Amino acid sequence: QNNDGVELAKNPTRVKPPPMHKVLLLNDDFTPMEFVVIVLQQFFGLDRERANRVMLKVHTEGKGVCGVYPKDVAATKVAQVMDFSRQHQHPLQCVMEEN
């Protein structure tokens, strides 16, 4: 029996939480700082101060973590940010990586 109470013939009992994935923004020379701050607030729930801090980290260090989520949630965030950036004709890149 796994930890959802479901009987399983071969699958091992799930003992670990689902693997988490970082969502990162990458720096570029063209996307306005203000647009990145809006993305961080709108899609990652950061307040303006935290959003500004993450944006400046990406700007100076090349990349920065927006949040850490289960795989499907992380993939949705990446797709939403990429769509939003393209709609506004900015080259902003959002990627995910497993922890």
Which residue type, as a one-letter code, is found at position 27? Answer: N
Round to whole Å and give the CA distance between 74 and 59.
Answer: 22
Distance, CA of 30 to CA of 2 (rounded, Å): 50
Minimum distance, C-beta of residue 72 to ligand TYC, in the bound complex (Å): 23
- Interface with ligand TYC (CB under 6 A), residue from 46, 51, 58, 78: 58
Residues 17-56 contacting ligand TYC, CB under 6 A: 25-29, 31-33, 36, 55
Smallest gap from residue 79 Cβ to ligand TYC (A): 17
When asked if residue 8 is in the footprint of ligand TYC (CB under 6 A), the reply is no
CB-count exposure of residue 39 (10 Å: 0-12, 13-18, 19+): buried
Q: Between vectors from CA 91 to CA 51 and to CA 20, what angle results, nearest 5°?
A: 55
Residue nearer to ligand TYC on the CB measure, 13 or 60: 60
Q: Which chain residues interact with ligand TYC by CB under 6 A?
A: 25-29, 31-33, 36, 55, 58-59, 92
